[in-house]
Amino acid sequence: TKKRKLHEGHDFSGKIGSEVLCTADGTVKSSKWNGSFGNYIEIDHGNGYVTVFGHLSKRLVRKGDKVERGKIIGKIGNTGKSTAPHLHYEIKYNKKRIDPSDFYYDISYSK
């Protein structure tokens, strides 16, 4: 469409079929087709935090599944309104989207 909309979240390009890992322990809130996001997963981590994974080629978890950080939950894809293979990643806090950058591990402090 010609409508411009703020893009919230981050996109990570990758090959179709590359593994997508859960970023924190939680419970799968949703695993379904979701329009412009295509194959879509939401994970509830408690305390108001939810992560969102979109444009997946495959979803490997179902609603209600308990997941741990590092578990493979899906595969990178090009579904929904996607222009190239990538993972769309969002963090929501109390239903509001927040900048995921604040949660990334800073490897510059590693030895």
Query: What is the rounded distance in angstroms from the CA atom of residue 94 to the CA atom of residue 68?
Result: 21
Residue 56, pLDDT > 70, answer yes
Residue 24, pLDDT > 60, answer yes
Residue 107, pLDDT > 90, answer no
Task: Note the pLDDT of residue 92.
Answer: 96
